[in-house]
Structure 1
Amino acid sequence: MNNLQTLKTKIETISNNYKEETTGGFITGDGPIPSDIMFVGEAPGKSEVESGKPFVGVAGKNFEKYLNSIDIERKNIRITNTCFFRPIKIKTSKTGKTTISNRPPKISEVNLFKEILDEEISLTKPKIIITLGNVPLKRLTTFKAIGECHGTSIHSDEFNCTIFPMYHPSSLTYNRNDDFKKMYEEDWLKLKDTLQKVL
């Protein structure tokens, strides 16, 4: 069994044995190993679990659009998550209608997959890891919030590479104002500059 298959088996075992909360399926990372560029997201959503790949829903379309804007093709990068199962909340309305929505993973859920993500990073050997959102940021750095460090390069001794924090692509859906979009686009341009230095 190769290393990636071992990781997949571990993810499946953890996901299937997790009983504290209801979850909505799981996925594994996607893309070449090794890879100089690695993106780490938070956790999969409905579209991701259905397709078995990270970043394929609305956030994924935003993500690919901006990737292409700085001349990166998705097939050339490794994309993974901090939590590999889909954390969900289930609500039942007064009329009896049930809705399922995504929720951020708890710290305890992120910690379930700590060794797996570390192992995936070790196999990928990235020169740069781009964290998307607060969850991977807190997991891979000492920063507490994306607002204090987005668009800046940080050297990680632990992973022996550059870490570049960015807002999650889904943040464009929630922050529909021009200032936020401008700042988000500027971060992608800063990433392009950083890649030219790092690679």
Structure 2
Amino acid sequence: MKLKIKNISENYNPEEIGGWITGDGPVPCDILFVGEAPGKTEVEQGKPFVGMAGETFEGYLNLIGLSRDKVRITNTCFFRPIKKKVGKTGKISISNRPPKTSEVNLFKEVLDEEISLVNPKIIITLGNVPLKRLTEFQSIGECHGKLFFNETLNKNIFPMYHPSSLTYNRDPNFKIAYEEDWLKLKEALKTI
């Protein structure tokens, strides 16, 4: 699959981004998951959702009877947004950060083209970044675990929390709600 990627060098210093990847999985495909942006492990392996969040993601895919080879996985931003921090000793640490709106907009046409080529029956947004890009919602908290129809895309959208949210939110009630969303997704898949 060939996708047009805008020249990002005009607006972004290569030291501010940490490599890029595209989507993974069959084309066409009935089920498309859209995340935020690749992390370090994803860039190293050239595939989305292969790091710690990817392990969580695959575990829940299996929970509802799906496997990675039966779904398409992509992102709203195709390069790794990073932030650098200089410690007291002068050592520089690099970590992931959510993509800025301007960075997501760089790949708007690319993602739209991928959606068109994949032609999914349902798009599952993972986190606030793809949610805001593909719906009018501003927060995942107001709509997760529910099926919506995007008239512009002519696609069903199912918002979910990003799998990495389980790493940061250790509340047992959140884990229960997260798992319930996957079970709701399983039911939603039967209706499309």
Q: TM-score range by the shorter chain?
A: over 0.9
> Is 1:19 aligned to 2:12, yes or no?
yes
**In 2: Cα distance, 1:17 partner to 1:65 partner:** 39
Under a length normalisation based on structure 2, what TM-score does the superposition of the two structures give?
Answer: 0.96
Q: 2:59 aligns with which of 44, 65, 69?
A: 65
The aligned residue for residue 137 of structure 2 is: 143
The aligned residue for residue 26 of structure 2 is: 32
The one-letter code sitting in structure 1 at the alignment partner of 2:119 is K
Deviation at 1:19? 1.9
Q: After superposition, give the CA deviation of every residue in 1:4-58 in whole Å (9 maximum; x if it has no partner).
A: 22x1xx33x5344442571000000000000000000000000000000000000
Q: 1:87 aligns with which of 73, 81, 105?
A: 81
Q: 2:110 aligns with which of 116, 126, 135?
A: 116
Q: 5 Å matches for 1:44-193?
A: 44-193=38-187
**In 1: Cα distance, 2:110 partner to 2:144 partner:** 25
The one-letter code sitting in structure 1 at the alignment partner of 2:55 is K
**In 1: Cα distance, 2:84 partner to 2:40 partner:** 13
In structure 1, runs of 5+ residues without a counterpart are none
**In 2: Cα distance, 1:54 partner to 1:194 partner:** 24
**In 2: Cα distance, 1:176 partner to 1:17 partner:** 41
**In 2: Cα distance, 1:33 partner to 1:46 partner:** 25
User: SS in structure 2 opposite 1:190?
Assistant: helix
CA contact (8 A) 1:15 1:26 kept: no
Deviation at 1:159? 1.5
- Change in CA separation of 1:51 and 1:18 when aligned onto 2, cut-off 3 Å: farther
Of Structure 1 and Structure 2, the greater helix share is in 1
Deviation at 1:180? 0.2
In structure 2, runs of 5+ residues without a counterpart are none
Under a length normalisation based on structure 1, what TM-score does the superposition of the two structures give?
Answer: 0.93
User: SS in structure 1 opposite 2:7?
Assistant: helix
**In 2: Cα distance, 1:86 partner to 1:108 partner:** 14
Between the two proteins, the alignment pairs up a number of residues equal to: 191
User: SS in structure 2 opposite 1:14?
Assistant: coil
**In 2: Cα distance, 1:51 partner to 1:89 partner:** 20
